[in-house]
Amino acid sequence: MIQPNQPGGEATPTAPRGVMALRDAGFLRRLLSIPFAAVAIVAVACGGSSDAAATAEGDPAASAPATLASVGEASDFEVSTPHDGVFDLNRLEGQPVLLNFWFPSCPPCRAELPDLQAAYEASGDEIQFLGVSLLGLDSAEEAQEFLEELGVTYPSGPDAESQMVRSFKIVGFPTTIFIDSDHNVVKKHAGILSAKSLESLINATVASGGGLDVSGS
């Protein structure tokens, strides 16, 4: 995890379990070059969460039940994608949504993308996938180039001025938010999700009808 300490201070890297520590000096220089206020707002972190297990054995989301309960109405948003236009809740009316918050300089974000693409190929007709890239450490152009190199085909676009990061209270990357067809948030997971967990949570979101209190997750 990488988190800022105080204005003018150093960013202190630590290595959460199952996540590669970020020791690249160039990455740290880029992090420290961002105005502190912006970093403080988004609390930039990679994989930081008690929920962030990267293996099927240790991933608590892998045993997700068949239903999820709403924990609040999703905030409206607007994401402009280079190939699929602008996405907002009006355009996605009646559709469940998967929002994945990420950025290219985040190793666990990169590690998760192939499983997200595989899940999109399997379930993209049932739930709208939407990548949301953080700006600052990487540009929108760098994010799109990386997605194209990796063969990621679901829509993705930048979070202009970190508005969605603030609205959805994102404190770690990657974070994936599952929104049901009534546009209520039913799950918020910080950290890498395994392929098995993604499948379980997608199925639960699509069929969401209550039954599990996931408040505080």
Each residue of 25-46: pLDDT tens digit? Answer: 444 444 444 443 333 333 445 6
What is the residue type of 52? A
Rounded CA separation 93/90 (Å): 5
Q: How far is CA 130 from CA 46, 65, 75, in A?
A: 19, 23, 15
Supply the pLDDT for residue 158.
96
Nearest to 66 by CA among 190, 189, 205: 205
Q: What three-state secondary structure class fits 33?
A: helix
Number of domains the chain contains: 1
Supply the pLDDT for residue 68.
73
Nearest to 174 by CA among 16, 40, 64: 16
Q: How far is CA 77 from CA 86, 88, 108, 128, 134, in A?
A: 10, 5, 25, 14, 14
Supply the pLDDT for residue 39.
39
**Residue ranges of the chain whose pLDDT lies below 70:** 1-67, 69, 209-217
Supply the pLDDT for residue 47.
53
Q: How far is CA 214 from CA 32, 37, 72, 177, in A?
A: 35, 31, 10, 12
| Beta pairing class for 185-190 and 175-179 | antiparallel
Sign of the torsion angle spanned by Cα atoms 184, 187, 190, 195 = negative
Q: Are 90 and 204 in contact (CB under 8 A)?
A: no
Question: What CATH number is attached to the domain comprising 198?
Answer: 3.40.30.10
The string over 17-52, giving b where at least 16 C-beta atoms fall within 10 Å of a residue's C-beta and e elsewhere, is: eebeebeeeebeeebeebeeeebeebbbbbbbbebb
Rounded CA separation 198/206 (Å): 12
Supply the pLDDT for residue 217.
37
Q: Which residues contact 205 (CB under 8 A, 6 or more apart)?
A: 68, 96, 98, 127, 178, 179, 180, 186, 187
Neighbouring-strand partners of residue 79: 87
Supply the pLDDT for residue 60.
46
Which range of residues forms the domain containing residue 20?
Answer: 1-217
Q: Are 104 and 147 in contact (CB under 8 A)?
A: no
